[in-house]
């Protein structure tokens, strides 16, 4: 009986830590956006899109060029840090690449008129695509980082072999995202000759 209660107590303690981490990450995710309300509405809209389009796997395959044998491992709601401010979207980690696509189009000036486009940053150039895509064999590092001023602000710096840097933040599951990225990096290194 004592052993059972001890295991149960340990399980409750681990669950409590997980819930505390998730609530902290969720709060930080909503604070990262332009407003708490916009971030919450963005997540609701993104969830609706996932349901309507058949899940993250289907969205991933429709959005990015995917190899026939490539499989989506996991996806994370997060923000990409840009000079214009954080851009809300989803990071995808597959067996061949890490990729990010913004949830909403952004406005920009083209001559005298305002155009709308999804955020564009790309390692492999494909005209008019608007995504961050880094093939795993071109991934140099995935470095977790915590703000010294505000330890609740956590980032992941993703660096390509060409030296391109992307900073992601506001993850709903930061620790799991760090682990997934480092696992992807390690598996890519193991596959290289």
Residue 181's nearest CA partner among 132, 139, 130 is 139
Cα separation of 147 and 181, whole Å? 19
Residue 60's nearest CA partner among 11, 95, 31 is 95
* 86-95 mean pLDDT: 90
Cα separation of 156 and 177, whole Å? 9
**DSSP character string of 46-111:** HHHHHHHHT-HHHHHHHHS---TT--EEEEEEEEEEETTEEEEEEEEEESSEEEEEESS-EEEEET
pTM over 0.85: no
Quick one: DSSP state of residue 136?
Answer: G
Largest Cα separation within the chain, whole Å, is 76
**What are the tens digits of pLDDT across the range 123-167?**
333 333 347 888 999 999 999 999 899 888 899 999 988 888 999
Does pLDDT of 46 surpass 50?
yes
**What are the tens digits of pLDDT across the range 95-126?**
999 999 887 665 555 677 655 554 444 433 33
Cα separation of 36 and 40, whole Å? 6
Does pLDDT of 181 surpass 90?
yes
- Which domains are delineated in the chain? 8-108+116-191 (2.30.29.30)
Does pLDDT of 22 surpass 80?
no
Q: Cα angle vertex 110, ends 109, 113, to 5°?
A: 75
Higher pLDDT, 151 or 92: 92
Cα separation of 18 and 28, whole Å? 15
Place of tokens 């480092």: 182
């Amino acid at each position: 009986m004592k052993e059972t209660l001890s295991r149960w107590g340990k399980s409750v303690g681990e669950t409590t830590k997980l819930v505390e981490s998730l609530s902290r990450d969720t709060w930080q995710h909503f604070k990262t956006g332009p407003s708490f309300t916009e971030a919450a509405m963005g997540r609701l809209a993104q969830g609706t899109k996932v349901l309507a389009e058949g899940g993250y796997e289907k969205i991933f395959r429709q959005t990015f060029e995917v190899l026939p044998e490539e499989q989506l491992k996991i996806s994370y709601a997060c923000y990409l840090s840009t000079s214009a401010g954080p851009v809300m979207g989803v990071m995808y980690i597959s067996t061949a690449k890490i990729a990010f696509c913004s949830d909403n189009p952004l406005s920009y000036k083209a001559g005298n008129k305002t155009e709308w486009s999804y955020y564009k940053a790309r390692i492999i150039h494909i005209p008019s695509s608007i995504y961050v895509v880094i093939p795993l064999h071109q991934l140099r590092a995935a470095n977790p980082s915590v703000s010294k001023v505000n330890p609740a602000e956590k980032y992941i710096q993703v660096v390509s072999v060409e030296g391109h840097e992307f900073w992601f933040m506001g993850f709903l599951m930061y620790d799991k995202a760090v682990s997934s990225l480092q696992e992807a990096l390690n598996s890519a290194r193991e596959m290289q000759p």
